[in-house]
């Protein structure tokens, strides 16, 4: 659970910026999207394998470039 306490004299915009950064670092939005609908175990496995392939392709492009 991301929590940001507004400091003395801190603007609301900077506190909101800190909150957004904290939410992004903790991958809260990604987790919410992942749990927003049910995936069958087989579908979950296919999604996981597709993400692994995507990571490997990206990694191989960075190495060769």
SS3 for 30? helix
Give the pLDDT mean for 35-49: 93
Assess whether 26 and 45 both reside in one domain: no
Contact 20, 4 (CB under 8 A): no
Count of structural domains within the chain:
2
Assess whether 45 and 65 both reside in one domain: yes
Assess whether 5 and 30 both reside in one domain: yes
Contact 4, 18 (CB under 8 A): yes
Q: Can you read off the two tokens belonging to residue 7?
A: 């400091």
Contact 4, 19 (CB under 8 A): yes
Assess whether 29 and 42 both reside in one domain: no
Give the pLDDT mean for 19-33: 89
Assess whether 61 and 42 both reside in one domain: yes
**What residue numbers bound the domain in which 30 lies?**
1-34
Assess whether 43 and 29 both reside in one domain: no
**pTM to 2 decimal places:** 0.51
Q: What percent of the chain has pLDDT over 90?
A: 62
SS3 for 25? helix
Q: How many other β-carbons are positioned within 10 Å of the β-carbon of residue 18? A: 16
Assess whether 30 and 18 both reside in one domain: yes
């Amino acid at each position: 659970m991301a929590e940001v306490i507004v400091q003395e004299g801190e603007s609301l915009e900077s506190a909101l910026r800190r909150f957004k950064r904290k939410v992004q670092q903790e991958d809260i939005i990604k987790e919410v999207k992942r749990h927003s609908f049910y995936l069958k175990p087989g579908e979950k496995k296919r999604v996981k394998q597709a993400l692994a392939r995507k990571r490997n392709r990206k990694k191989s492009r960075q190495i060769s470039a």
